[in-house]
Structure formats: structure tokens, C-alpha cells
Structure 1
Amino acid sequence: MKCREKNTAIFLIIIMTMCMVLLSSCMNISDDSEPISKTEYMLGTICTITVYDSESETAIDKAFSRIKEIENKMSVNKSGTEVDKVADASGKDFVKVSDDTFYVIKKGKYYSGKSGGVFDITIGPLVKLWGIGTDRARVPSQQEIDEKKSLINYKDIILDEKDKKVMLARSGMSLDLGGIAKGYSADEAVKILKNNGVKHAIVNLGGNILTINGNLDGKPWNIGIQNPFKARGSSVGTVGVTNKTVVTSGIYERYFEKDGKRYHHILNPFTGYPMDSDLASVTLVTDISIDADAMTKNIFYLGLNKGAEYVKNIPGLNAIFITKNKEIYVTEGLKNDFQITDSEFKLLHDIK
């Protein structure tokens, strides 16, 4: 079995270097700018915040403190979090949670419903079973998968709005907010930066990117779009954005290989196996990162045609679709903003 392990020091250094090269090569900033950039490992990924109009690191430090605060409440990779406590009390009792955690769970339940359960934040037992992205990744038996699937149902999340309490209706259930917490963290980090006077910045939380205004020249930021068939840091093109979030989900993020087959981390709660569509990745461009974060999984599941139809019906939402046969489609609102840079890919504008 070959497995990608992101927690080794060497791998982190390589990824950090790739991310910085990608961002620095893709952004239109004036030559005399002296940005301040800081990178931390949080939320299970590399997080980089770069500020272009401030000489103080205080704003960045405050933003990272906010991200750490959210991680300590919601991470499934830490013990004693609020998410852990909700799981421990599943089928028994309500758990009082912070405003942050209640908001994200409520938002997650909403998008779980909007997707018809394709994106379901109660997928925790299945995610833990597969262990993709950890050193215990494996292909479970069908019996194991069926047992964990039976515990997945966002309708079994009971919310007490008045007292900010949460309960999972059945014993053994657990939440996994990994598909939405990064987006929330990005939104909150940007709030902190703005409150501290920052007017030009990029927050990159492992592929969840959120920009503040444009660059110092008054032009849009050019953000690299990940090549889903290569290691993180390789782009297929760039998209120009101002005050937007750019969020990508794809088969490249976390995976392992067994007997020549690749198993990626985007799990289908109905089959219990990794999702299978005609897409290698989908990138959403919109205003709020938590919304984009939640929607990418559903759109990835829907595939090119149905996914494009879904995007078309959401005001202010645009998308870049990359298919498994290396074709790129962009929705109407991005046709003048996306530039392809990799000749292995073919840019097609018409989505049938």
C-alpha cells in the first residue's frame, strides 16, 4: 500500500515551498511591495497569510490565533474538542457548545439538507473508518462500511437554538466538520485582518483562498488553480479575483493506493466509497468561504453537467470544472478572468 502522509517534516517543507512558489508566481503585485507572510500548520493543512499593506505582523498573529481557536473547538484530529464531546454524548444527551461551533454545525446541517445528504456532516464514522490521509488508511470490508453508513444522517442532528446545545440522536454517531470548518476559519481570519486595518491580503488555508480587495496596483489577484493530477503547487491556470474566495475540492488532496487503485478522501455517504464522477476537481469562486467549502463536495458529486446547472442557479457563484480527461470548463462569470497555463489541458467554454 502506498499512502500520502502529510505529517512528516520533509513533506511539509516541500508543500510549503510549492505553495509559496505557486502564489508568488501567480499574483500581480508591484515590484516594490514588501509583503509580510507567515505560515502555520493548522486544520490539518498548510495555512499561509500574506499581507501587502502593513509592516506589522500583529494582524497576522491575531488571525492565526483565531484559526487556532476554531481548530481547538472543531478538529476531529484533536481530543477533547467540542465535536468530540458531542460524539461522546450521542444518543444520550445535549452538549453545550460555543457560538462558533453551533454556527458551523447549523450551517453544515443546512447544506447537508440542500445537497440531499451528499454533503453530510455526520459522515464522521465513515471518515474515521477509511482513515484516508492518515497512516492507518485502508479499504474497509463491506460489512464495516454498511455499519458506518447506517450512522450517517444529518436529520439526526438536534439543535437547541436558545441554549446553543447540540445532540446526535443515535449512539455511535459523530460529526466531521472538515468539509466546512476551513471555510469558516478563512472568513473569520479575514474579519480579523480587516478589523486591524489590512486592505490588501490573501488568506490561503490549504486550498481555501480568500482575498481582501485587489493587489497594490489596483488589479485583481491572479490565483493559481491546482492541477489535480500533480502534487500541490502545480497549476493549470489562473483566475483573477477581487474580494472573493476560491475553494477547490479534488481527487489530489488526500488519497492512498491499494492494488493499483486510488482511493481519494471525498466519500460518498450513500455508497460508503470515494465519490466517482467525471470530474477530477471543481473550484468555486464566490463571496463567502464557508458556503463555497460546503458546496464543492455536492457539485463534485453531481459531475460536470448537473454541477454546472447547480452553479448557474446560485447568484454570485461561479465555477471551474476540470474533468478526468483534462478538459477545463468555466462558467459564464469567469470566462474573462480565467487563463489556462498548462498545454496538457484543453479549455472548452460550452457546457452541454
Structure 2
Amino acid sequence: MRFILPLLILLVCAIPARALERFDFSAPLMFTTFRISLHSESREKAEAAVEAAFKKIAGLNAVFSDYEPNSELMQLCNAGPDKAFKPSEDLYALVKRSQELAELTEGAFDITCGNLTHLWRRTKRTHKLPPADRLQQALAATDWRAVRLDEKAQTLTLTKPGMLLDVGGIAKGYAADAGLKVLREHGITRALVMAGGDIAIGDPPPGEDAWEIKLRQFTKESPEEDLIAVRLHNCGVSTSGDLYQFTEIEGTRYSHIVSPKTGMGLTQRIACSVIAPDCTTSDALATAMCVLGRERGEKAAAQLKGVTVKFAE
């Protein structure tokens, strides 16, 4: 009998590991299409993990949306000034990171710009600039320093009346990171989660040292000629620019990217890709870099470890 156990061990070790297959999925979420590419031992395991990831992302939309009147974000905005609000773990984490990046970018990234973005949504529909008085009112209610976080109590407080938050510049990146985390919890690490121009990237595919990601540069009209390839793993990458999203009013081209300082859509042509340790950070910084411009943007990014910015030439 003492010879049977070693034989069994040899037999088990001789069985080859099941090869990983690539699977691709997509779902319409958060006003864009989320795409997940992953490598798994089986379709069943892949589908279970992706279903959980998409469920998490859909739940985050109910937290972060400024279109849904009953979202948690809107409950915070409606709580009134100087009223402490007890948020979910996700909302607190998102606001905390937003405030850190607002400070780093000197307010170029500012989630308190909700009144401004509402005005510019109307501008896109009507092709008329916001009335001067309403623009000034919106600017007066925009101030990232007017959001108070209580770490001990885990509460959020808006200290200015009429403030509206808009987390559209960071929420998709956060959701992509959250989706990738869910996949990892299901044992799938070789994956990436794409949310429009924001990508959360995990371990590389089998036999590779990285995922090949194609970044749009916004310098050529032909989409095929406008891409450059980079190889990345375990990070986030986001691209922001105004090639397609803009409106023209009285001969001036206004970007969909609004400066929290002026309240106006950017008028200079600019685009930037940001590679960061996570997609939450890359999402927020991609927009902030466009507001800051190359010189100030590169200076701000240099303060963050693991962040690379690539401005379109």
C-alpha cells in the first residue's frame, strides 16, 4: 500500500491545466457601452463573473447618476447646506478621491460643477450660450472646497446653498475599476473592463506581458489613422478630447469639456490620454488635463506616482 500514494500524486501532476479561453461581453450601462474581455477556464465561469460585474456597475449608476432624481448623489444634493449626509461606501470613496484630485489640479477637476454642466446640456440642445446671470449663479455655487468630509463619521456635507454635484468625469472610471475588482473576486485576473474612453486593465493575457490598447489621438479625421498602440497591464487608461463632442455658436467652437473656473466650454482644440495606477484616477485626470493645458497639466501629473500623460500633438 505504501507505493500507491506516490503513484497517485504522479498521475495528478501529469494532468495538464485547462487552457484559458478568451471571452468578450458587452452591456449598455451608465449612458455608454461597457465591454469586458477576459480569459477563463470555461464560459460558465466567465459568464457568472461578468454577470456579477455588470450587476455591480448597474448598482453604481443608481448611486452616482445626476439624471435619476432618486439617486444617492441627488439625495446628497437635496439634503441642503450644512446637513451631514451618510453615504454608501462607494459614494464616500468616490467623493473623497474627487476631492483629492480637485486639490491636486487646483480645481480643474471639480465635481461641484453640476449647475454648470446642466447649463451646457441646455446649450447643446438650443445652440445658445447660457444667460450671463445664470452663468454667474452657477459659478458661485461651484467650489470643491465647499464639500466637507468627516472621516470618523463617514459623512459628507455640502456647505453652500444650491450646490449640485456631477461625478460624470470620474464615475465611469470608478465603475470600470469596480467591475475589474468583481472579476478578480471570482478568480478571473486576466481581464479588462472598458467604459467608452476609460479602461481598467488587469493581468495580461496568457503568454503575453501586456494588453495592447489603442489610444485615440484626436489629430486626424480618419479613425483608422488616428490610433496609436500601447501595451499595458494592471493600470487604468483614459482619453478625453473634443474631436466629436462640441457645439458651434456664432462661429465659435465650444467643447463639451467645461472649465469650472470660467463656466464656459473650452474653445482650444486639445486632447489627452492618461495612464494611471487605476481607472478612477485616469478618468478624472484626462478631463482635468484638457482644462489645465499641457504645461500646467504635466506639472500636476508629475506629483502623482505612476501617472503618465500624453497630449495630442
TM-score, length-normalised on structure 1? 0.76
2-structure distance, mates of 1:313, 1:182: 23
Amino acid at match of 1:79: P
Q: 1:161 to 1:75 in 2, by over 3 A?
A: same
* Alignment partner, residue 42 of structure 1: 29
Q: Deviations over 1:260-300 (max 9, x none)?
A: 433222111111101345x5211111211112222223322
Amino acid at match of 2:72: E
Amino acid at match of 1:49: I
1-structure distance, mates of 2:22, 2:221: 28
> Does the 8 A contact of 2:245 with 2:256 survive in 1?
yes
Percent identity, aligned pairs only, is 26
1-structure distance, mates of 2:223, 2:66: 23
Q: How far apart are 1:80 and its partner, in Å? A: 0.2
Q: Secondary structure at the match of 1:315?
A: coil
For the pair 1:174 / 2:161, whether they are aligned, the reply is: no
Q: 1:52 to 1:260 in 2, by over 3 A?
A: farther
For the pair 1:191 / 2:181, whether they are aligned, the reply is: yes
* Alignment partner, residue 38 of structure 2: 51
> Does the 8 A contact of 1:130 with 1:137 survive in 2?
no
Q: Deviations over 1:308-347 (max 9, x none)?
A: 333334321112110xxxx2xxxxxxxxxxxxxxxxxxxx
> Does the 8 A contact of 1:245 with 1:286 survive in 2?
yes
> Does the 8 A contact of 2:81 with 2:157 survive in 1?
yes
For the pair 1:116 / 2:106, whether they are aligned, the reply is: yes
Q: Which of 273, 279, 293 is the matching residue for 2:264?
A: 273
2-structure distance, mates of 1:45, 1:234: 24
Q: Deviations over 1:225-246 (max 9, x none)?
A: 1242658787421111122211
* Alignment partner, residue 82 of structure 1: 72
* Alignment partner, residue 229 of structure 2: 238
Say which is worse superposed, 124-133 or 66-75, in terms of deviation. Answer: 124-133
2-structure distance, mates of 1:256, 1:230: 17
1-structure distance, mates of 2:83, 2:297: 38
2-structure distance, mates of 1:44, 1:301: 23
Q: 1:144 to 1:74 in 2, by over 3 A?
A: same
> Does the 8 A contact of 2:108 with 2:292 survive in 1?
no
Q: 1:45 to 1:129 in 2, by over 3 A?
A: same
TM-score, length-normalised on structure 2? 0.85
Say which is worse superposed, 172-181 or 83-92, in terms of deviation. Answer: 83-92
Q: Which runs of 5+ in 1 are unaligned?
A: 1-31, 328-352
Q: How far apart are 1:88 and its partner, in Å? A: 1.2
> Which structure 2 residues correspond to residues 160-309 of structure 1 after superposition, within 5 A?
160-228=150-218, 230=221, 235-252=226-243, 254-277=245-268, 280-309=270-299
Amino acid at match of 2:200: L
Q: Which of 51, 54, 57 is the matching residue for 1:64?
A: 54
1-structure distance, mates of 2:243, 2:60: 25
Q: Secondary structure at the match of 2:204?
A: coil
Q: How far apart are 1:81 and its partner, in Å? A: 0.7
Amino acid at match of 1:275: L
Amino acid at match of 1:180: I
Q: 1:43 to 1:97 in 2, by over 3 A?
A: same
Please say which structure displays the higher CA radius of gyration: 2
> Does the 8 A contact of 2:234 with 2:277 survive in 1?
yes
* Alignment partner, residue 8 of structure 2: none
> Does the 8 A contact of 1:133 with 1:265 survive in 2?
no
* Alignment partner, residue 93 of structure 1: 83
* Alignment partner, residue 7 of structure 1: none
Amino acid at match of 2:161: S
Q: Deviations over 1:37-67 (max 9, x none)?
A: 2212212212111112342311111111111
Q: Which runs of 5+ in 2 are unaligned?
A: 1-18
2-structure distance, mates of 1:133, 1:41: 26
* Alignment partner, residue 347 of structure 1: none
Q: 1:320 to 1:183 in 2, by over 3 A?
A: same
In angstroms, what is the RMSD of aligned CA positions? 2.4
Amino acid at match of 2:281: D
Amino acid at match of 1:211: I
* Alignment partner, residue 7 of structure 2: none
> Which structure 2 residues correspond to residues 333-352 of structure 1 after superposition, within 5 A?
none
2-structure distance, mates of 1:232, 1:198: 32
2-structure distance, mates of 1:196, 1:290: 21
Q: How far apart are 1:133 and its partner, in Å? A: 9.6
